Structure 1
Amino acid sequence: MEQLAQEGKVKERTYGKQNIYFADQAQFAELSEADLKAMDSRISDLSTQVEAVSQGCRQLDAELKELNSSLTTEEMSEILELKAECSGYREHLEKIKSATNHVTPEQKEKVYKERHLYVKEWKKRKRLASDMMGSILEGYPKTKKQFLEEVGVETDEDCKVTMPST
């Protein structure tokens, strides 16, 4: 700043220990009253344009915020699917709650024990029947298949039944 003051481009004033620098008005050309009015009207026009553009920007910003906060089509379809699934679960829950034939844990345990007992008995009887047929087939001249047809025995495999695991 001091260098500009020495070159005469700015003026310097000292007040105590402070230096104040300001533009030298003499270096600017004199303007007529008409030029000043023209500049003022130009400033006014530009200010109006700035305000209009700022207003447009604010409207576009508001629209952008609204669009960013809204859901996409994919999100909406996913929400609809989830609502449908949720209503299905609610209906299922209501059916379960309204059912009067609830099974107590004791009844459930009793059924599982009975099932285990019956499967065990089934295996035991199947083994006994298989052992008896094996003994008979040792001295029987025909095939096992022919024997089963003559006697009229239907196996689990013929009926497409599989024995459950215990």
Structure 2
Amino acid sequence: MEQLALEGKIKGKTYGKQKIYFADQAQFAEVSEADLKAIDSRISDLSTQVQAISQGCRQLDAELKELNSSMTTEEMISEIQELKEGCSGYREQLEKIKSTTNHVTPEQKEMVYKERHLYVKEWKTRKRLAADMMGSILEGYPKTKKQFLEEVGVETDEDCKVTMPST
């Protein structure tokens, strides 16, 4: 930079310990107002072209992303083949189910529901009785309910993460 300043191609100024270099404006030719307007017009035309090209690039990028995310013909053919194989497997299972003769009769189904209702009702009764007994014992017991259950070895439905079904 110092060499260019000595040759007169650029200028330099010293501010304290710093030295700043800049172009020598005298070496450039005078530019008329008409030339400046022509240059500004050219700049605005080029800016418009840049925007149009950028917009085209964005559209092409979006199209490229869409095409890259879609399946190729070979992938689609293999996917269709896999789906057809799966479908035929399901058809075979359906035929096996339809061909079996050991279906549950409505009477058997009703009997199972009645038994379930009976057992759930019995479960609720026994749970209530057990809770009443533990409540009576805990009235005079010096420790907490949790400690009592641990000492006696009782596992509650909640300990086993079991919920009572509705009747």
TM-score w.r.t. structure 1 length?
0.56
**1:93 positional shift:** 3.1
CA distance in 2, matches of 1:5, 1:96: 96
Partner of 1:51: 51
Q: Give the secondary-structure state (helix, strand or coil) at the position aligned to 1:4.
A: helix
CA distance in 2, matches of 1:89, 1:15: 87
RMSD: 1.7
Can you give the 5+ residue segments of structure 1 that lack an aligned partner in the other structure? 102-166
Percent identical across equivalent pairs? 69
Partner of 1:3: 3
Deviation by residue 1:8-55 (Cα, 9 ceiling, x = unmatched)? 111111122211111111111001111100110011111111111111
**1:91 positional shift:** 2.4
TM-score w.r.t. structure 2 length?
0.55
Q: Give the secondary-structure state (helix, strand or coil) at the position aligned to 1:90.
A: helix
Partner of 1:34: 34
CA distance in 2, matches of 1:81, 1:73: 12
Partner of 1:140: none
Q: Give the secondary-structure state (helix, strand or coil) at the position aligned to 2:71.
A: coil
Q: In structure 1, what residue type is equivalent to 2:90? A: R
User: Who wins on radius of gyration, i.e. which is larger?
Assistant: 1
Can you give the 5+ residue segments of structure 2 that lack an aligned partner in the other structure? 103-167
Q: In structure 1, what residue type is equivalent to 2:23? A: A
Instruction: Show the 5 A alignment for 1:105-120.
Output: none
Deviation by residue 1:104-141 (Cα, 9 ceiling, x = unmatched)? xxxxxxxxxxxxxxxxxxxxxxxxxxxxxxxxxxxxxx
Partner of 1:82: 82
- What count of residue pairs does the alignment treat as equivalent? 101
CA distance in 2, matches of 1:68, 1:56: 18
Give the 3 Å change call, closer, same or farther, for CA 20–99 of structure 1 in structure 2: farther
Deviation by residue 1:38-77 (Cα, 9 ceiling, x = unmatched)? 1100111111111111111111111111111111112111
CA distance in 2, matches of 1:2, 1:46: 37
